[in-house]
Amino acid sequence: MLNKYKLRILFIGDIVGKPAREYLKETLSSFRKEKGVDFVIANGENASGGSSIVPRNAEELLSCGIEVITSGDHIFKKREAKKTLEEYPVIRPLNYGEYGWGKGFIIREISGVKIAVVNLLGRIFMQPVDCPFKAIRGILSYLKEQAKVIIVDMHAEATSEKLAMGYFLAKSVSAVLGTHTHIPTADERILDNFTGYITDVGMTGSFDSILGREKYSIIEKFITNIPQRFNISQEDIRMQAVLLEVDSSTGRCESIERVELRKEEVK
């Protein structure tokens, strides 16, 4: 049962392909029970063959205990994602503006507590999109009227842009959590004694790989610069995530803890 004031939220890093989906189907339920997790968010933009997320894969992830799925710059690479975004609790970056399918935020409720989840996309070293700072500023008052707990997935390449967003939203949202690089950072903290922050959560996928892909084809690409097929690696699957504890009455993040879970560690 949800503690009236303490909400435990698990945010799972970028899910890479079928091996990661299968891993979560086998382990997430037990991990939720073990840690007393109330609400799960996951970045799923690489869930379908390493790029985008199609409806059947969204259903798989939602059925294994994920409440909301965020995404990023790969979300529109499969046309089936249009249905995913329109029919499931899957969101795309808010700062695609009016041109993208679906919506950039969602509000869910658990045991009377409303939780807003927002997806933003960075611009440094990435394809042009609307300004993420202006995009979130434009809806922040509305979100704060609707929900005490606000979680932001900042999907971006540059560490400076992610940290800037963290400070920009400090005291206004419960957490700003970076995704996209698939490499976890060791800088988890609470900004201004209110907002949980980490530059990158990491990924859920193969750790005998390069960012979840078979390593030798990527090495070959670096050496020859000839296009290669980057298959999803299936070795040593792990989940990387952060576990937040949030005061449900104020939205203040009281703790943020990095998680790295191997299958053999699941009880």
Q: Give the up-direction half-sphere exposure of residue 108: CA atoms within 13 A in the CB hemisphere.
A: 17
Instruction: Say whether 74 is catalytic.
Output: yes
Query: Is the separation of the CB atoms in 154 and 120 below 8 Å?
Result: yes
Residue 233 has what DSSP assignment?
P
Tokens of 7: 């909400």
Q: How many CB atoms lie within 10 A of CB 211?
A: 18
Answer for the pair 193, 212: CB distance below 8 angstroms, yes or no. Answer: no
Q: How far apart are CA 75 and CA 267, in angstroms?
A: 33
Which of 74, 155, 180, 182 is labelled catalytic?
A: 74
Phi and psi at 256, nearest 5°, equal -140, 125
Give me the helices (H) in 64-206, please: 81-87, 132-146, 159-169
What stretches of the chain adopt beta strand conformation (E)? 6-12, 14-15, 39-43, 68-70, 105-110, 113-121, 149-155, 175-179, 189-191, 195-198, 203-206, 237-247, 253-262
Active centre residues (catalytic): 74
